[in-house]
Structure formats: structure tokens, C-alpha cells
Structure 1
Amino acid sequence: MARALPLFGLVLLASGGLMGCGERTAARAALSPPDRAEYMGIETQLLDASTVSFIVRMRGARDRSDVVAYARCAAAQYTVIRGYSFAQHVRTNVRRSGEIWEGDGGFVISPDLPAGRRNLDAEVIVDDCREQGIPTV
């Protein structure tokens, strides 16, 4: 059985970019967790029946993309737990205070594929997060 696109593939499709094989490998390395990442927890805030905010904190992030990946992993697992299949990334605000990075990611969860370009197949994302060692809720 063919495996669906991993996290980096969904990110590239969401951004509209296609790249060659060597570039895909580089993109995968860029989205793999940093060597010294310390994931410091996830807070889930249900804003309404389908809108959720995830506050994530970590130390050792290379840049904001590591924090965004952590928030996506949290959102994907939460989506699966709720019995839904898709999450739509609305936004992730990232800030840094010393060595601690914090992200506030907003997502809409849905049982059906929503319209839009920032959709995440939750089960695929959860599998990819596990493979990369990025924690989920």
C-alpha cells in the first residue's frame, strides 16, 4: 500500500511548490526536528466546536518552522482523537524569549476535507510526527 504524503509534502503542496528529488531530501532535513529539541508541552484551548488553539513551547528550535511543526503535530493528533480526519491551519504566531520558543497555532478540525489550501490529513501528519520524534497531545 502506498503511503500518503509526509508532513513536508503537505507543506510543499500547501505552498504550491513542487521540487526535484534532491530538493525534497533537503526539505525533509529542514523539517526534521532539531538535534537538541526539548519539547516543553502543549496546551489545548477549544475555542468553539471545531476551532482549536494549541500553545506549544520548546527549547532548541532552529527557527519558527520547528515551532510550527510542533503545533501541527499537536493539531493532527487532537483531530484524530476527536474522530475527525482533517485540520486546516489558520495561523501560528511564534515568539521567542531567550532560549524558549512559544507558538500559538490556530486550527479548524473537520471530518471532511475543507475547502482551502492549508489542509492537513491528520492521520498522515500523526504518522510523520511519530517517525520524526515530534510529540503530539
Structure 2
Amino acid sequence: MAVITPVALVVMLGGLSGCDAAEPEVTRFAPEYQGVETTLLDGDLVKFDVTMRGARAATDVEDYAECAAAQYALIRGYGFARHLRTNVDEEAGLWRGDAVYTISPALPRGVRTIDAEVVTASCVENGIPMV
């Protein structure tokens, strides 16, 4: 019968330590919101140009524009908005979004509508600045 000494045990277990799975690196989402420019295109048609750094994907830029649109609708005395389009571009870590929404006092027709009060509450909860 073979006897395993403490030194042999340490050597054997030490050889297995290289097989441990590496801990995943955790990165904290810390966006830098750099501003919103609002342009009234025609009556209820509004364009929002947003700029930010630290976005994880285009959806972060789209969320920033949606928050701006929701707050703008409330400022103008409207309760709803309808998303028409958003273009997102990233260059050297600077993300830009160009979004167009219609704003209205009643729920507009269409699939991509937002309730301005609900969206602004979500933006506040998630730390996304508005107009």
C-alpha cells in the first residue's frame, strides 16, 4: 500500500489548480451622457440628437433618445409619443443617435408608441437623463 505524504498531496493538488475556471471579469455599466439636442421639425414631429460614451450597444443610445422624447412630450403637455426611426453611429467610443418621434395628447396609432409618464419614471429609475 502506498503512503501519500503531505508534500506529495500538495504537489498533486497544486497540479490541479491550473484547471480551475477563471473568474469572469465584471465590468460596471457607467455611461457618460453628453447631451441632447432637440429640433422641432413640424408641429408634432420632433428630432432628438443624443451623444454618449460608454454605451454597451446601440440600444443604450436608443434608450437615451427615448427618455428625451418622453420628457419632451410631457414638457409640451402631451402624454404620448410614437417612435419613427433611430440611427446610431459609433466612432472611437463616441456614440451618436439621431431619433425622430411624433408627440401627441392621445395614444397614437402604431406599434412603437410610448406612454411618456411610464417611460420617464423608468428613465429616472435607471439614471438616464432627459431633456
Fold agreement, TM-score > 0.5: yes
* 2:73 aligned residue: 79
Match of 1:120?
114
Within 5 Å, give how 1:85-124 maps onto structure 2. Answer: 85-124=79-118
Please identify runs of 4+ aligned residues in structure 1 that moved more than 3 A: none
Task: State the TM-score, normalized to the length of structure 1.
Answer: 0.75
Question: Identity rate of aligned residues, in percent?
Answer: 55
Aligned residues: 104
Deviations 1:55-114 (A, max 9, x none): 000000001000000000000000000000100000000001111000001000000111
5+ residue gaps, structure 1, are: 1-33
SS at match of 1:68: helix
User: What secondary structure, in the 3-state scheme, does the structure 2 residue paired with 1:95 have?
Assistant: strand
TM-score by length of 2: 0.78
Root-mean-square deviation over aligned CA pairs:
0.8
Relative contact order: is structure 1 or structure 2 higher (C-alpha 8 Å, sep ≥ 6)? 1
Match of 2:32 among 38, 57, 63: 38
When Rg is computed on C-alpha atoms for both structures, the one with the higher figure is: 2
Which of 111, 123, 126 is the equivalent residue of 1:129? Answer: 123
Which runs of 5 or more residues in structure 2 are unaligned? 1-27
Equivalents in 2 of 1:66, 1:35: separation in Å?
10
Secondary structure of 1:47's aligned partner: strand
User: Residue 38 of structure 1: CA displacement?
Assistant: 0.1
